[in-house]
A and B are shown apart, each in its own frame.
Chain A
Amino acid sequence: MSAAFPKAAKVALGMPQLRSNLAHATGTIRDKRAKAAGELDDWQRLRDTAAAVKADVQHRMPELAVTFERNAIAAGATVHWARDAAEANAIAARITREAGAEEVVKIKSMATQETGLNEYFAAEGLAAWETDLAELIVQLAEDEPSHILVPAIHYNRTEIRDIFKGRMPDAPEGLTDDPAALAEAARLHLRRRFLSAKVAVSGANFAVAETGSLVVVESEGNGRMCLTMPETLISIVGIEKLLPCFEDLEVFMQLLPRSSTGERMNPYTSVWTGVAAGDGPQNVHIILLDNGRTDVLADEVGRQALSCIRCSACLNVCPVYERTGGHAYGHVYPGPIGAILAPQLEPGRHDDLPYASSLCGACYEVCPVKIDIPEVLVHLRQTGPHGVGEKAAMSAAEAVMARPRLWRAALGAARFFSRPWRRRGFMRRLPWPGSKWTASRDMPVPPGESFRDWWKERER
């Protein structure tokens, strides 16, 4: 079984700047989310509806996917299907070339992170330019995103200023680390690119089956630029993004912005249905992506992970994510949702992630679509592989605990062998694997008289 997470986590824990950036950012967003959610007195009822809508989507996925396809085609879109990342990337590259372009502008999209579209395009001699501010920072730094919503959450303003100064050719002279100045620098850097781009690539937050519409939720206006200015638009959409009806947006568009950025509504939401004559791209493509999702769908307990709307509230409240950051998870989906999605999307490759949680339940409490993340974590632990030594230890413990007489004998033995430490009351150094405990905590010593002895004495 892989132990990549504990190792990577240890590295992250040793980076004080990273930890302080993360603690500051997640702390800020936690408070904002709590306030924004607390403002709606029907928050729990909205969650109930959202969870039920998503369960219905999963149950009716084949029907809804076909309905979406039919309506999108009727509105003038071309719909493609991609079994996996390679197929999706190849389709996107072909459309880009057919449009006579060698580069695309991109809206932040988890689906294209997942397919590695940028890397694929680079290998094909095509360029994919990220236009979301945080994605731009990460792309300029030649780094990986570390958060679903705020991919550059691991950088503070000074580090971002240095990245811009070092790697953005048209960075203004005397650029300061004021966030407004940094945003202005990004605006100038990207503006010509937006106005001249021939092809854009996006994901989608929602795909409405009833109307064949796609929805993109954003803040900066880079999304609107990509969705409006180019002639050709390619949207890569996971099949789980479906919603049955347009009306469902009244639920999800209350939950998503308040859960993700802690705002009552994000600055811009774009909804488009195929091609609109004389308005925006006239060449509209939609690539419906599987890439492991149907395997997740097959797991009765695990399939609720497909309800995720990528708000990242679970990351922001997770005590583990807050201390390790996103890179430690080794997957484009980090944090609690990543810990249940990654091992299901790529079976056998992230078996240690379901253990990257203390099962504290903070994630479930904030999840706007009520994914019971602790339940799925435990389920994946129960269905995943176990180390041989641990398995033996667990079986031995169970064998003792399932037999009351053996259990009582074991307690007696523990009391006997721990006598030397009794006066002190605790043990400071245990042999492996107890050493993992005593590295930072003392271990109490069994007392001289057990509850059982006391009870027996009393009953006499």
Chain B
Amino acid sequence: MNAREEILDRMRRALDGAQAPPRTPREYRRSLDPGTDAVDLLIDRLLDYKARVHHGTEAIAAALGDAGRVVVPADLPAEWRLGGARFIEDEALTTAELDEMDAVLTGCAAAVAVSGTIMLDAGATQGRRAITLVPDQHVVVVRRDQVTGHLAEALPRLDPSRPQTWISGPSATSDIELQRVEGVHGPRRLDVVILPE
């Protein structure tokens, strides 16, 4: 018997005569209480993670600060490419070329207010994973209508067949005395620009 058959056979034997467990209850929350504003909550969570939050398209330039070379996905809207930076479209840039970039500017697929999470699924305005990873600063644009309250509302907006990155604040570690330190291997600065719908 090959390994696959043997493992499957062991599983079946282990479960021989086992009773089916009861139906899975799903009584947990799927949305915020009415009256709680998802965007306000998202901003509160992002600030708690030491991300920086900006408002409106014009703020993109300020969010990019003095970044000189900014990589962008080729389908990033032209009206987002603001400020004095040089915007370089990602056409299969090499790792070494990416490493030369000061920042990356993208959109996102969805955001989750309760946990302060921005979700990328390699869809429109987001590009491939490497561009949001190698540069030291990530500026991400979130439209108000992309903000959901709970994870349960955000997951249906993602395409599970594409690679996803869920981002909750800048890269961090708690490996030393469980004290959180922002900035390890991922972008050390996360700037979130909130746009009206």
> Which stretch, A189-197, A358-366, A416-424, touches the partner chain B?
A189-197
Q: From the candidates A82, A133, A229, name the one contacting B176 in the complex (CB within 8 A).
A: A133
| Complex contact B163–A221 (CB within 8 A) | no
Separation of A161 and B152 alpha carbons in the complex (Å): 42
| Complex contact B28–A55 (CB within 8 A) | no
| Complex contact B116–A220 (CB within 8 A) | no
Inside 8 A of A191's CB, which chain B residues have their CB?
185
| Complex contact B28–A42 (CB within 8 A) | yes
| Complex contact B185–A264 (CB within 8 A) | no
Separation of A87 and B2 alpha carbons in the complex (Å): 12
Q: From the candidates B48, B161, B183, name the one contacting A211 in the complex (CB within 8 A).
A: B161
> Which stretch, B61-69, B77-85, B92-100, B139-147, touches the partner chain A?
B92-100
Closest to B23 in A: A52
Separation of A187 and B175 alpha carbons in the complex (Å): 13
Q: From the candidates B129, B166, B173, name the one contacting A265 in the complex (CB within 8 A).
A: B166
Known contacts A246-B155, A267-B167, A279-B163; A221 and B186 CB within 8 A of each other? yes
Q: From the candidates B4, B117, B171, name the one contacting A220 in the complex (CB within 8 A).
A: B171
| Complex contact B178–A25 (CB within 8 A) | yes
Q: From the candidates A58, A239, A261, A270, name the one contacting B164 in the complex (CB within 8 A).
A: A270
**Separation in Å of the A131 CB from the closest CB of chain B?**
8
Closest to B95 in A: A195
Q: From the candidates A45, A58, A273, A295, name the one contacting B161 in the complex (CB within 8 A).
A: A273
Closest to B151 in A: A250
- Mask: chain B, 1-37; 1 = CB below 8 Å from A; 0 = not: 0111011101111110010111111111110000000
| Complex contact A195–B184 (CB within 8 A) | no
Separation of A266 and B174 alpha carbons in the complex (Å): 11
| Complex contact B99–A219 (CB within 8 A) | no
| Complex contact B181–A179 (CB within 8 A) | yes
Separation of A30 and B101 alpha carbons in the complex (Å): 40
Inside 8 A of B133's CB, which chain A residues have their CB?
221, 224-225, 228-229
Separation of A208 and B158 alpha carbons in the complex (Å): 14
**Is B57 interfacial (CB 8 A cutoff)?**
no
Q: From the candidates A156, A194, A297, name the one contacting B185 in the complex (CB within 8 A).
A: A194
Q: From the candidates A49, A266, A268, A279, name the one contacting B27 in the complex (CB within 8 A).
A: A49
Separation of A154 and B92 alpha carbons in the complex (Å): 43
| Complex contact A160–B176 (CB within 8 A) | yes
**Separation in Å of the B98 CB from the closest CB of chain A?**
9
**Is A115 interfacial (CB 8 A cutoff)?**
no
**Separation in Å of the A225 CB from the closest CB of chain B?**
5
Known contacts A153-B178, A180-B183, A270-B164; A250 and B129 CB within 8 A of each other? no
| Complex contact A49–B160 (CB within 8 A) | no
**Separation in Å of the B3 CB from the closest CB of chain A?**
4
Inside 8 A of B166's CB, which chain A residues have their CB?
253, 265, 268-271
Separation of A49 and B21 alpha carbons in the complex (Å): 12
Task: Give the most central of B152, B164, B181: most A CB within 10 Å.
Answer: B181
**Separation in Å of the A136 CB from the closest CB of chain B?**
9
**Is B177 interfacial (CB 8 A cutoff)?**
yes
**Is A29 interfacial (CB 8 A cutoff)?**
yes
Within 8 A of B (CB), among A45-64: 45-46, 48-49, 52-53, 55-56, 58-59, 61-62
Inside 8 A of B23's CB, which chain A residues have their CB?
52
Q: From the candidates A45, A229, A270, name the one contacting B163 in the complex (CB within 8 A).
A: A270
**Is B124 interfacial (CB 8 A cutoff)?**
no
Q: From the candidates B8, B30, B45, name the one contacting A264 in the complex (CB within 8 A).
A: B45
| Complex contact B152–A250 (CB within 8 A) | yes
Inside 8 A of A46's CB, which chain B residues have their CB?
28
**Separation in Å of the A110 CB from the closest CB of chain B?**
16
Within 8 A of B (CB), among A217-267: 219-222, 224-225, 227-229, 239, 246-247, 249-251, 253-254, 257, 261, 263-267
Inside 8 A of B14's CB, which chain A residues have their CB?
294-295, 297-298, 303
**Is A28 interfacial (CB 8 A cutoff)?**
yes
Inside 8 A of B189's CB, which chain A residues have their CB?
none
| Complex contact A224–B165 (CB within 8 A) | yes
Q: From the candidates A265, A266, A267, A273, name the one contacting B170 in the complex (CB within 8 A).
A: A267
Known contacts A179-B177, A183-B184; A62 and B15 CB within 8 A of each other? yes
**Is B55 interfacial (CB 8 A cutoff)?**
no
**Separation in Å of the A238 CB from the closest CB of chain B?**
11
| Complex contact A297–B11 (CB within 8 A) | yes
Closest to B132 in A: A224
Separation of A186 and B26 alpha carbons in the complex (Å): 42
Known contacts A28-B177, A265-B168; A59 and B155 CB within 8 A of each other? no
Separation of A134 and B177 alpha carbons in the complex (Å): 10
Known contacts A49-B27, A228-B130; A276 and B162 CB within 8 A of each other? yes
| Complex contact A45–B27 (CB within 8 A) | yes
**Is B107 interfacial (CB 8 A cutoff)?**
no
| Complex contact B128–A278 (CB within 8 A) | yes
- Mask: chain A, 56-83; 1 = CB below 8 Å from B; 0 = not: 1011011001100000000100001111
| Complex contact B160–A246 (CB within 8 A) | yes
Inside 8 A of B24's CB, which chain A residues have their CB?
49, 52-53, 56
